[in-house]
Structures are given as structure tokens and as C-alpha cells.
Structure 1
Amino acid sequence: MTQKLAIATFKPPNKSLKTVLKRFPQLQGLVIPAFILVAWESAAQLGWVAPNLLPAPSTVLSTIWELASKGELWQHIGITLYRVFLGFLVGAISATILGRLTGYSKIVHAFLDPLIQSLRSIPSLAWVPLFILWLGIQETSKVTLVAVGVFFPIYLSLMSGIRDVDRKLIEVGKIYRLKNWQLIVRVFLPATLPAYVVGVRSGLGLGWMFVVAAELMGASQGLGFLLVDGQSTGRPAITIASILLFAIFGKLTDSLVVLLSSRFLNWQDSYIAKA
């Protein structure tokens, strides 16, 4: 009798969508994209959108699979990743050096910062003719253009972060007779690191944007080339597939930066908004 009662009163665990999302918060960011894909596929299947203008997600995925099975897609992805990575490396190192100099030195800031701020307002496509003229259409011009896009957000974030450090923290460090390198390690570095990480993330995002312009410079490979090739040959599925891959790899690289930086920012007692 007791066993029957236990069986009768047993309730299965709640496996609603809300419970799953609470248990796995990483999945919450997939809800809206999934909804958009379902609505998009439904509209395409019902004929609400013209397939020659906006092909269905299933068509885009089959196009990606076809390109990947031929091996063509991996070449385009590989060369784009190479350009973004190398351009990011060059731009980030240059921005870190100059941002540190203009942040620490009033003289360097007075002479150098106005020029950099003026160059920052130049659109990315405006650099293309000059880089082709100076550097040709080889990889150097493409990597340089990506580096330009990466440079400015990192430079501005680091320079502003250094100049915005609370003067009281520096005075306390001097009271404890910290040397210059100790002030940098114990005061400036922790105080500027959050702003620097934001600049790195912004610079990386612009690097992915600038690589599209870079791959217009006589490129025969790359996701940017694939994007334009789909447009020029009247194959919108290839164009949308390229855009989707840009979004995926951009998000993956940004998540990698967040993951790596979180190990150095775990000391922050930051505000986390409630639901």
C-alpha cells in the first residue's frame, strides 16, 4: 500500500524551458537567434520572402556544408583567421605601447594624441587606395588595414584608463615608498586592466569588420571575398553564409578574450543585474 501511494504521489522533475535556462545560463543567449531562425525558415517555406533575395536558413546551411565538403570553405576561413589574428597582434601591440606612453607622459600626450585622434576619424575604406599604392595588393596591405582598425579602440581605452586612475591610489603608493615599476604593477595595471580589456574586445570586433574591407583589395580568398563573390554571381546563399560565419567566428574570438581576461579580473566586486 505504501509503495502504491509513493508511486501515485511521485511527480516527475520540472523540465520546462525556464528551468533549463536557469540551470544552463549560457543557453540564454541562443534563445533569440533560435527564434529568428525558426521565424525566418517558416517565412521562407510559406513563400513570404523571395528565395532569390533571402534564402531559407536550411538553404544557407546546405550551402555551407557543400563548400565545406569540397574543402573550399576551410581555405577561406583559414586565410581570414590569419589576417585577423596577425592584424590584431600588430594593432594591439602598437596600441599598447603608444597608449601607455601617451597615458603616462604629458609631453608625449600633448604631441602625439591630437594626431592619433585625427587619424581615428578616417573611415576604413579611405585607407584602401593608399595601402594599395604603398603596399600593393599582397597580404601586407590587408594585415595593415586590419591592424589600423584594431589600433584605435585599444589605444583610446588604455590611454584614458591610465589618465583616469584615481590620484589618491598613486599617493598612497608613494606614501608606502613604492618604486615606479611597483606603482605600475600594483596600482596602474589593476586600475587600467578593465578598460584595456574593453578596448581589446572593441578592437577585435573592428578587426573583423576591417578584414571585409581588406579582402576587397584584390583578394582571391577569404570570407570577405566569398561574400562579394556571392553577391556578384547572384548567389545570396553564399553571401548570407559568409555573414553568418563572420558572426560565429567573431563571437567565438570575443568569448575567448572574455574567458582569458576573466582570470585576471576575478578580483572585481562588480555589479551583476538581477532578472
Structure 2
Amino acid sequence: MNLSLNQKVILISGGAKGIGAAVAKGLIEEGGIPVIIDPSGEEARQIIDFANNQALHLPIRLIRAADASRAVEETLKKFGRIDGIVNNAGSNDGVGLENGNPEAFENSVSKNLFHYYHLAHYSLPALKNSQGSIVNISSKTAVTGQGGTSGYVAAKGAQLALTREWAAELLPYQIRVNAVIPAEVYTPMYENWIQSFPNPEEKLEEINRKIPLGKRMTHADEIAAMVLFLLSSKSSHITGQHLFVDGGYTHLDRAL
């Protein structure tokens, strides 16, 4: 399917690894131009090579509002337009109620949430011009809970709320806002988590058995396919939606 993303400039936070990298590569295959906002240099260079330099790497870690402002400014300086945002960067850092403290909780929410707002805020004038699209990557933990990760889950739940809020606010500008909710996706970050268990292979098999469709994890490029669809004109009447790409993990009986 031609998604009509040719020459579309899309900001992707955390775009050098995992889901973000899959989105960037999928966008390149559609003829689009990813702006990879990610401090990971080697991984980003591989994507730039894949794109034959029709991409931009901004080695910025989005911590403060000024970081997002600089990313937007540099993108507009090079390309003169922004057609979409994929808010993706973040990490499940395990800051819980028992195993955390107020300062750690605040830091966890900040690093997983605030840059979603910052990037959308500074991109808004350009998105109004392009009637662009915003896709927020959330997590099934916002819906199911997980235990031991209050900061991350609070941020992920807020991302879903902001998806609906921004969709409502931006209706007059024809800017669509949607969220994609993965469950179990085997990314480098996920690999690090699996390896923290005494028997990683056994833990991985246990998780796979709980995924209804195919008893396997979702692939990063399957998440990317939904993201690219939501960025494209093929989804021109879809906004304010939370779309689960998880093999039925969240909503189907896991005992099936």
C-alpha cells in the first residue's frame, strides 16, 4: 500500500533503537524522511546509511523543554516543515511505590512524559501548516498495571489522556492525534530486562505462552506498520484513538 508519505518529515523520539528504529526504517521505505531524536550514535548512523542520507540524526536526549525546542528548530532549519511526530522515547525504570521515593517518582514521570508535551508544543505551528499527525507510543501497563513501576505507568496513562485531550484541542486544525499501545515487544531494552532473570529463556517462554495470537511477542515492525498508517492520509478520519497492537494480550483471556 502506498501510504503517501513520500518526502514527509517525521520527528521520532528514541528513533535509533527498538520500536523507534522500526518506525524510522518503515518511513524510509515509504519515501519519508525520519528525524531521529536520539543520543545513540552508532544505531542512528546505520539508519542514516539505510536512508542514503535522506534522514536527519539529532543526538539530543529530551530532558528539558529547551531540548525539544532545539530539535524542532534544527528540523525546520534543514527541511522547512514538520508533517508528523512519533512520541516514543522512554524506559520502564522500575520506580514503584515500595521500591521508590517521591524524588525518584517525579524523575520517572518527568523523563517518560514531559518530552511528549514539549515536542508537540514546539512543533505545533509547523503541524498546523502541514495538517500533520501525532502518534503517541504508550504501553499496556497503562491499562493493566504491572506492579513495581509507578512512575512509568503514571506517564503512560497520562500519554493516553493527552492523546484524547490533544485530539479534541486540535480538531480545528485538522491535526490528528492517536496512541499505539504495545504489550510485549522484543526490543533491545526488553532483552536487557529478560537477561536480569535467573533463567531468561524460561521467563521468555512463560511470557510467550500468555500472548493469545501465535504465542509470540509482537515484532517492532508490526508496531511500526500501525504507526505509519496513523501518520498517513489513509487514516484521515481517525483521531483520538487508542490502538492496541499486542496479539490480543491486553483484552483476550490469557488462559486461551
Which bin holds the TM-score, normalised by the shorter protein? under 0.3
Structure with the higher fraction of residues in helix conformation? 1
TM-score under structure 2 length normalisation: 0.26
Q: Work out which of the two has the higher radius of gyration on C-alpha atoms and give 1 or 2.
A: 1
